[in-house]
Amino acid sequence: MNVRQTGYIEPVFPDDSRKELSTVLSYLTGRSLSKEEIWTAMELPRSTYYDQLEKGTLLNADNLRTAAKNLGINRAELLTRYRLIDPIEITSLAEAINGPDSVPAQTITKSRKKLRKKSTLAGASVTELPQREGLPPL
């Protein structure tokens, strides 16, 4: 997480723009998806799916939005992961809707430092680290 000039936390979404669509969608849904499930979720005929995949035009906002809607994935998160929406735009929109986060960054930074110290102790494993809410482990 980054601290903006306002002193509040800004989320950092992973950049999955170079990852296979099936990998990202499978991760976000928590299960392995077949190519057929993906083109069905995108509401594309098989031939159109493969044509767009070959031309490099498959990963567009409309296709990703449709797939996210049909798979029950957060549409804004998927578009942000593929950098079709800038993460800062999402944060700005959320603040405009709900108001800025009420927790000062200093409070969260202190707790992150404690977590960092704990996770770097000898013998600490990845399984002891907290998972992001709502997402299955990789």
* Number of compact structural domains in the chain: 1
Query: What average pLDDT score do residues 124-131 get?
Result: 56
Angstrom distance (rounded) from CA 78 to CA 94: 16
Kind and range of the H or E run holding 112: helix 105-119
Residue 65 in any domain: the answer is yes
Residue 107 in any domain: the answer is no
Domain span including residue 71: 14-101
Which amino acid is residue 102, in one-letter code? Answer: S
pLDDT tens for residues 96-120?
Answer: 887 655 444 443 444 444 444 444 4
Residue 93 in any domain: the answer is yes
Residue 113 in any domain: the answer is no
pLDDT tens for residues 49-68?
Answer: 999 999 999 999 999 999 99
What are the residue ranges of helices labelled H in 7-104? 21-29, 35-41, 46-55, 61-71, 75-81, 87-98
**105-134 as b/e: b if 16+ CB within 10 A:** beeeeeeeeeeeeeeeeeeeeeeeeeeeee
Q: Within a 10 A sphere around the Cβ of 25, how many other Cβ atoms?
A: 23
